[in-house]
Amino acid sequence: MAARDHVVLFPFLAQGHIIPFLSLANLIQERHRSFTVTLLSTPLNIAKLQLLLPAASRLRLHSLPFDGSHHSLPPNSENTDSLCPADIVRLQLASQSLEPHFEHFLQVARPAVIIADVFLGWTVLSARKIGGGVRHATLTTCGAYGTMAFTSMWLHFPHKSTGDDEFHVPGFPPNFRLDRTQISRYLRSADGSEPLAAFVRRQIRLSLLESDSILCNTVEEIESFGLRLLRENTKLAVWPVGPLLPLEAKESYNRAGKKSGINLETCIQWLSRRSQGSLLYICFGSQNTISASQMTALAVGLELTQTPFIWVIRPPLGFDMNGEFKDEWLPEGFEARMRDRDQGILVRSWAPQLEILTHESTGAFLTHCGWNSVLESLSRGKPMVAWPLAAEQFYNAKMMIEELGVCAEIARGVERELEVDRIVTVIGMVMEGEEGKEMRRKAAECKELLRDAMREEEGGRKGSSIKSVDNFILTAVSATRTEKEVI
């Protein structure tokens, strides 16, 4: 296989990034079968990915050497999902140590195209160093709107130049405003000189301003506004290639890459006893949690609403998220009452999210608005109750509410106490109110748009994202071949 027909994908060391990259790698391999497609990561991540690939897969997996102990990380730390916030920062900074190993791989493989993560912006410089016309593309695993807002906030710090609670964000229309409560705790206090802030700013500048093009895990028909802003501000070609997730029902995998049969069976059996659209699914992602007092307030509010629910629950803020959950973090007897009344179940650590969202009994998703969760919810036609907690989640929630009309916000962040009355009001509105009906209608429309984007019908008609993937690959490979011929 000629090097010019080799595509290399390199995600950041986080499960929420690796899985979309895996989906894109499989999609490219499926559509361009004569190409070699290789996905890079560290040894432990590669070992987990091998469990997800079918025996007949032609996708190549390649591990780059990494030793977390050289960066003051706990043993076997190669993925943010298993780390506390302080260690996540160390892992982010440590990811730069992969640079020489990545460049050695490029020297041998000489690929035509590199698709790298936003947080691996230094790969742009590696691509230039290797020469030979190799094309570099950045895949942002967020949506276009969230990526644009995140980029502008980190590069410009607009909240630092005003004392007002609301402020304009550079790159957006004049009437676009953010509130200080829509800024993550770290960004709110950063000034750009801190090691993590300097790292993030450098990766953004390289990956979104110096790359040859951008791939975005979204759909043109849903995010036309965000895509237009991203194109105008980066001056790069932006290719929407989403949604990068399974669109048909399938067995979910837990964070170790293994099927979790007990949780799957428990959740599906419980769902089967609910009426259509009656259940609220609650999950804050694999790296987020709320405070103990907020957890208690949410439990009280759920009990008052009498809404059926499945709650994926982890220890609260300040405790080991991967540790054992203690009953003391909830109202006394709450779990037993919910079980006895057949109102709700608490699932420790992990639940089969795709199956739950696919099930007809699920009416809405109370989510932190991480982009993978947003796409999973919309691809199943489910409206959302937003509780953004970190990173670009605040911007995703804003878009879901103001641009798509598929969401209502119940809270922001972990610093403010949660009002029980608001829980009851918002959940009641989304699950049973007229506003909720309209959200479900719009979510159903989004579902069809997401699925249409990934369809290819007889006669050659391609969905917008399928067409975008094909055009990107052919354009990038053609450019590489032309440059090699000139050289």
Q: Which band of pLDDT confidence, cut at 50, 70 and 90, is reported for residue 459?
A: confident
How crowded is residue 263: how many other Cβ atoms within 10 Å of its Cβ? 20
The pLDDT tens digits for 298-348 are 999 999 999 999 999 999 998 888 788 998 999 999 999 999 999 999 998
Strands 407-409 and 384-386, bridge-based pairing? parallel
**Can you give the pLDDT at residue 392?**
94
| CATH architecture of residue range(s) 261-449 | 3-Layer(aba) Sandwich (3.40)
Q: Fold match between 3-246+456-486 and 261-449? A: yes
Is residue 406 classed exposed, middle or buried when 0-12, 13-18 and 19+ CB atoms within 10 A define those classes? buried
**Can you give the pLDDT at residue 485?**
43
For residue 210, pLDDT beyond 90: yes
Output the average pLDDT for the chain: 91
Structure tokens at 94: 């440590």
CA distance 29 to 35: 7
For residue 272, pLDDT beyond 60: yes
CA separation, residue 117 to residues 17, 136, 208, 341 (Å): 8, 11, 10, 46
Check: CB of residue 45 under 8 Å from CB of residue 21. Answer: no
User: Rounded mean pLDDT of 416-427?
Assistant: 93
Q: Which band of pLDDT confidence, cut at 50, 70 and 90, is reported for residue 217?
A: very high
Q: What is the pTM of this model?
A: 0.92
> DSSP secondary-structure letter at 50?
H
User: Rounded mean pLDDT of 266-281?
Assistant: 92
Is residue 261 classed exposed, middle or buried when 0-12, 13-18 and 19+ CB atoms within 10 A define those classes? exposed
The catalytic residue positions are 17, 117
For residue 260, pLDDT beyond 50: no
Among the listed residues 115, 84, 150, the one whose alpha carbon sits nearest the alpha carbon of residue 18: 115
The residues spanned by each domain of the chain are 3-246+456-486, 261-449
Structural fold of domain 3-246+456-486: Rossmann fold (3.40.50)
| Residue found under tokens 């999950």 | 283
Residue 112: phi, psi to the nearest 5? -85, -35
CA separation, residue 420 to residues 316, 412, 427 (Å): 18, 14, 11
> DSSP secondary-structure letter at 341?
T
Structure tokens at 480: 């590489």
Q: What percent of the chain has pLDDT over 90?
A: 76
